[in-house]
Amino acid sequence: MAQLSGKSVYLTGGASGIGKAVTETFINEGALVTVLDKSAAGLEELKQEFGDHVQCIEGDVTEYQDHVHAVGAAVEFAGKLDVLVANAGVFDGFAKFNQVTPEAMSDAYDFLFNINVKGYFNCAKASAEELKKTKGNMIFTVSGAGFYPDGGGVWYTASKHAQIGLMRQLAFELAPDIRVNAVAPGGTLTALHVIEPLKSFVNSVDQDTKAKSIKSRNPLRIAMASEDHVAAYLLLASDQSRAITGEVISSDGGLAVRGLS
């Protein structure tokens, strides 16, 4: 029996990486998914792969009206909205606070917080009314960087902590109508972008080096793929988790049990 049969999902950043893997799983489990992403090429591919099960909307998560448009389109597409997955995000490339200029620090803050934090505020606000009607739920993609240092630089780490704060406060305020939870992936082999204002302060890393570094940091020694995280999203989206709100499921190879060595 499909776990999301007849559910309507709105997901940001579904044209690539973790969001794309979640989109595929949710469609396979019977959902209709509306994806907002800024990558026209990525959306085109998604449409080719999933046809009538996906609705693709080109837009920018920093623009509130783009979410209003996407939520309206999701309701038109599927007759309702059951699940929001806030997922689109960008990275700081582990840029070192001490090494950037004050101008770059400020530009990077505006750029990254606008996408990673305001983007989540925006989609939560634009979806809340429709989710209330269905007693639906929100799922935020956070990160191990939402708990621990060195999952990124200060911008990314602070933004992921902020996302967890937003998730917990919303879980409090939106109960009993809407459940709000998060998935915290560990380092995952995706195309996650380093933002423009920090590019000149970081070294680009190839996928092989990234895989080795991720493996060496988590106890399970896994260089994670996007597909490794989808089970957590599926559980939180489905009615099986009707008693779970305000929680983060870590899907990170065991970062919390690294020990002292």
Instruction: Select 11 or 132, whichever has its Cβ closest to ligand NAD.
Output: 11
Shortest separation between residue 176's beta carbon and ligand NAD, angstroms:
27
Residues with Cβ < 8 Å from 252, sequence gap 6 or more? 144, 184, 185, 186, 187, 218, 224
Segment interacting with ligand NAD (CB under 6 A) among 38-46, 71-79, 129-137, 232-240 = 38-46
Q: Of 7, 38, 67, 179, which one interacts with ligand NAD (CB under 6 A)?
A: 38
61 binds ligand NAD (CB under 6 A): yes
Which of 25, 127, 157, 190 forms a contact with ligand NAD (CB under 6 A)?
190
Phi, psi of 90 (to 5 degrees): -135, 170
Rounded to the nearest whole angstrom, what is the least distance from the CB of residue 149 to ligand NAD in the complex?
Answer: 14
Quote the tokens at residue 88.
């689109």
Q: Omega of the bond prior to 197 within 30 degrees of 0, cis? A: no
List the one residue from 4, 7, 13, 70 that touches ligand NAD (CB under 6 A): 13
Catalytic site residue from 10, 64, 109, 156: 156
Nearest of 198, 114, 184, 118 to residue 154 by alpha carbon: 198
Residues 161-180 that bind ligand NAD (CB under 6 A): none
Distances (CA, A) of 146 to 50, 71, 115, 183, 236: 32, 27, 16, 10, 18
Examine residue 34 and tell whether it contacts ligand NAD (CB under 6 A).
no
Check binding of 153 to ligand NAD (CB under 6 A).
no
Total residues at the site for ligand NAD (CB under 6 A)? 27
Phi, psi of 143 (to 5 degrees): 180, 160
C-alpha angle 3-36-106 in degrees, rounded to nearest 5: 125
User: Which residue among 55, 122, 143, 238 contacts ligand NAD (CB under 6 A)?
Assistant: 143
233 flagged as catalytic: no
The per-residue DSSP string of 124-164 comes to HHHHHHHHHHHT-EEEEE--GGGTSTTSS-HHHHHHHHHHH
Which listed range, 59-67, 93-101, 167-175, 200-208, lies at the site for ligand NAD (CB under 6 A)? 59-67
Q: Is 254 helix (H, G, I), strand (E, B) or coil?
A: coil
19 binds ligand NAD (CB under 6 A): yes
Cα separation, 244 vs 222, in Å, equals: 27
Least Å from the CB of residue 16 to ligand NAD: 3
Q: Which of 2, 175, 191, 220 binds ligand NAD (CB under 6 A)?
A: 191
Residue 151 amino acid letter: G
Which two structure tokens, joined as six digits, stand for 110?
A: 């505006």
Query: Of 193, 212, 242, 258, which lies in the binding site for ligand NAD, with binding defined by CB under 6 A?
Result: 193
Q: Which residues are catalytic?
A: 156
Binding site for ligand NAD (CB under 6 A): 13, 15-19, 37-39, 42, 60-62, 87-90, 115, 141, 143, 185, 187-188, 190-193
